[in-house]
Chain A
C-alpha cells in the first residue's frame, strides 16, 4: 500500500431496498491501518452499510461507488472479496454447531482448494488466529457451550483466520458484560495497532472511539452527519443532532481525555 491511497472508500454511495432509500450519498475513505467507528441511532443504516461493503444484500439496488484497494467492489469475485474483508456478525440468534477450531477453519474457504481442502498453511493461520485472541486452550470447545463473551472472541478468531487486511464488525460487544466488552475492545485495539489490521466497527459505545482515537463516521437517517477524527464527536452538536438527544461531556477522572454520557 503506497502512502495515502485509501484501502476502502465510499463515494456518494446510496442504497435502496424496494422503494426505501436506506443510504443517502455516503462518502468516506479509510487508509490501511485506520480504525473507523461507525455510530448513529438505530435505523441509521449502519448495518446496511456494512452489508453493502460485504455484498451481503440479495436484493436492492445502489448508486455511487464502493472501492476496496482502489477497485470497485462489484468487480470482485465473492472469494476475492472474502480475502480482502473479514466479518464479525452481530451476536445472538443461531449458534453454529461447531467447535471453536472447526468454526475458524471454515473461514479458510476462500483460500482452500475444492479438491484437497485445507493445506498446512491454512491450519497454521487458524492456530495463529486462535492464539491472538487467547482461545488456544478452548479450541475444542463447542460454540454452544461457551459464554457469550468467549463466543464473541471465537467469532473474532474466525474472522482473523480469514486472513484479510480489513475487518468489519457489527456491534461486536452489543450483548457482552462490561468486562468482556472492554476485553474485546482492547483486543481490537491491539490487532489494529500491532498487526496493522484496518478495523471498521459499528458500535453504540461512544467512548470507545474517543479513547482509541481513530476515525468516526456518524450516520443518521441514512445520511452522513460527521466524518473525521473521533475527537470531532465532542463538540459542535454532532451527537445531539444525530441522536436527537442531549449529551454530557465530562473530563476523564484520570485525565485520559473526555467522556460522553447520554443525558
Chain B
C-alpha cells in the first residue's frame, strides 16, 4: 500500500471515529433523533457530547503534535510533549490555584485553573529558555537537561502544595492531575481549536527542516537550516500548544508519546506526511479514550489519563510487533 493511500485511510478512519463518538455513551443516541426538533436527546448530543468529543479530539491532536516535534528535535524516542516541563509547570499553576481555594486574583469559574496553569506553563517555558540561552547558542542537550530539571522542580512543588493542602483541595488537585475533559466549557473549544490548528499548520511549514533535523544537526545546518531559529520555533510551538491543552484538560499522558511512534512505524519519517496523520490519529485516539472513560464505569467517569495508558499500551505493542523491521522507530 502506498504512503498517500495509507494516510488517506488513516485520516478517513479518524474522521469516522470523530463522527461516531458523540452518538455513543451511557445511552446510545440514534441519529434519527437529531432531526426531531427540541428532543431532549438532541440537546444532550449537541451541547454535551459534540463539544466534549471535539475537545478530546483537539487535545489528543495537540499533545501528539507536541510529542512528534519534540521527538524529532531531541532525536529521542522517550521525548514526550511534557519533556521540557511544560506540563509540570501547568500542574503547579493549577494546584496553587486549588490550594488557595480559588480565592486568588481570578475568580470566574473554570477560568481560574485555566489562567493559573497557563501562567505555570509559561513560567516553566521561560525558565527552560533562559537556562538554555545562558550556555550560549541553543544547544539541544542543554535544553533537554534544563527541561528535565525544571520538570522535577515543578513536580516537587506540586507534591509540596498537595502536602500543604487539606484533604478536599488535595483531592481536587489529584483529579486535575489525572486529566479530565468533563468540565471543559464550550467557550474554550474555539481557543483550543485555534491553537492546535495554527500549531499544526506552522509545523507543516517547518516539515522539510524537521526532516533534516532528524538526519542530524550538522547535516541540517550544512543544508541551509538555521538551527537556532528552528529549535526555538519548535520549542515555542510545542510549548504553546501543549500548555494550552494541559491548561484545559490536565496533563493527559501517553498520547503524545505513543501516537507519533505509531504513525512513524506505519508511515515513515517524512514530516509533511506525518504531521496531518499524527494530528488526526492523535485526535481519534483521545476521542476513543474519552468514550471509554465515560462508559467503563458508567455512570461514574474514569479519569482519562488512566484510560490512555491502559488502552494505548496494548495497541502500541500490537503495532510494534506487527510492523516489519523496515518501519523505523529510532
A interface residues, Cβ below 8 angstroms from B: 51, 54-56, 58-59, 78-83, 85-87, 89, 94, 96-98, 102-103, 106-107, 109-110, 112, 114, 117, 142, 144-145, 162
Contacts and interface: CB of A to CB of B under 8 A. Distances in A.
A59 B218 contact: no
B49 interface: no
Contacts of B216: 89, 94, 96
A102 B211 CA distance: 10
8 contacts: A56-B221, A94-B75, A96-B214, A96-B215, A97-B269, A103-B215, A107-B223, A110-B223
B219 interface: yes
B200 interface: no
A96 B270 CA distance: 11
A79 B224 contact: yes
Given A58-B139, A89-B218, A110-B223, 4 more contacts: A58-B137, A87-B219, A97-B269, A142-B326
Contact of B208 (A78, A117, A162): A117
Nearest to A53: B222
Contacts of B195: none
Secondary structure call for the A interface: mixed
B205 interface: yes
- Listed residue (B137, B219, B270) with the most chain A CB atoms within 10 angstroms of its CB: B219
Contacts of A114: 205, 208
A109 B222 contact: no
Nearest to A99: B268
Interface stretch (B181-189, B225-233, B252-260): B225-233
A106 B211 contact: yes
A112 B211 CA distance: 14
Interface string B199-217: 0000001001101101110
Contacts of A89: 216, 218-219, 222
Nearest to A155: B219
A191 to B, nearest CB: 18
Contacts of A79: 224
